[in-house]
Amino acid sequence: MEIAGFLASILIGISLGLIGGGGSILTVPVLVYLFHVDAVLATTYSLFVVGATSFVGSTTYFKNKLIDFKTVFAFGIPSIIGVYISRQQILPHIPDVLFNIGGFEVTKSNFLMLVFAVLMLMAAFKMIKKDTKPNNTSHQNYNYPLVVFQGFLVGIITGFVGAGGGFLIIPALVSLLKTPMKKAIGTSLLIIAINSAFGFVTSYAHFGEVNWKFLLSITTMAIIGILIGSRLSRNIDGKKLKPAFGWFVLVMGIFVIVKEMFF
């Protein structure tokens, strides 16, 4: 199972490098089901893995001047606020056992994984759905209220389940801000890196000792993946791969729901 986990970690990085999102949604399921990490702790580990991997991936886009720092600032500040609220005000106050129905006990871990599964399904549908709207990149019109709200929403999700939220960031940058796809990917990676780093740092004290050997090994595999993905993105259109990866995420989301509810 560990070998499968390391291979999946590489896949997470490749996805981030190619399409700027989607891969991070798999990090928590990989940690929980393949490495048997507690679901709550897995959300914190995921923040480190996703943050470090996204930061490394963003450096390539930075060198090619494909990061919009104005957008990073406008999107990133409300995102960080959302991460803080999620990690410090919401997650710690969820009880270990939420409720019982006919002998079926819903724990905090079950709840987190089910929420994660729903997000996986949302991400999958966004990746599978064809974008029929033309992206007019000739003029960027900043709709600040929508950008701030979207950033805050991404921060809440990032903090709550340890996912980067790239599947929400990319559509927001492309549709709301008319950002070219390549620049949207680079900008998304930097936003994910900042949010994830902040979420991990603010959560670190709550989990005592971190298994750094394990965490760094997973992160290394994901970084190798994102370097591969970034190189492949020069010759492969990530938009063509999104539907196929979306179907994979869809299957994984259904698996998580079945696993948490029936096994």
| Percent share of the chain, pLDDT over 90 | 8
Task: State how far the Cα of 107 lies from the Cα of 97, in Å rounded to an integer.
Answer: 4
Q: Which pLDDT band holds residue 81 (cuts at 50, 70, 90)?
A: very high
Residue 9 pLDDT > 60: yes
**If you ran DSSP here, which 8-state letter would residue 173 be given?**
I
Whether the Cβ atoms of residue 122 and residue 134 lie closer than 8 Å to each other: no
Q: Which pLDDT band holds residue 224 (cuts at 50, 70, 90)?
A: very high
Task: State how far the Cα of 29 lies from the Cα of 14, in Å rounded to an integer.
Answer: 17
Torsion of CA 138, 144, 147, 149, to 10 degrees: -160
Angle at 152 between CA 148 and CA 156, to 5 degrees: 170
Count of CB atoms situated within 10 Å of the CB of 56: 21
Task: State how far the Cα of 255 lies from the Cα of 80, in Å rounded to an integer.
Answer: 31
Q: Which pLDDT band holds residue 22 (cuts at 50, 70, 90)?
A: low
Q: Which pLDDT band holds residue 115 (cuts at 50, 70, 90)?
A: confident
Cα 184 → chain centroid: 15
What element of type H or E holds 106? strand 104-107
Strands in the chain per DSSP E? 97-101, 104-107
Residue-wise pLDDT for 29-57, tens only, equals 889 888 998 888 888 888 899 889 889 88
**Token match 């709200």: residue?**
149
Torsion of CA 175, 12, 36, 45, to 10 degrees: -70
Q: How far apart are the first and last CA of the chain?
A: 18
State the pLDDT at residue 230. 77
**Token match 């990866």: residue?**
245
The DSSP bridge partners found for residue 106 are 99
State the pLDDT at residue 92. 82
Closest CA to 72 of 159, 161, 158, 185: 185
Task: State how far the Cα of 145 lies from the Cα of 47, in Å rounded to an integer.
Answer: 27
Please report, for the chain, the start and end positions of each structural domain, with discontinuous segments joined by +.
2-262
State the pLDDT at residue 213. 92
Q: Which pLDDT band holds residue 141 (cuts at 50, 70, 90)?
A: low
State the pLDDT at residue 216. 94
State the pLDDT at residue 228. 87
Closest CA to 176 of 47, 17, 257, 68: 68
State the pLDDT at residue 21. 62
Residue 135 pLDDT > 60: no
Residue 136 pLDDT > 60: no
The encoded tokens of residue 47 equal 């923040």
3-state secondary structure of 99: strand
Task: State how far the Cα of 45 lies from the Cα of 37, in Å rounded to an integer.
Answer: 9
Residue-wise pLDDT for 89-109, tens only, equals 888 888 888 888 777 778 888
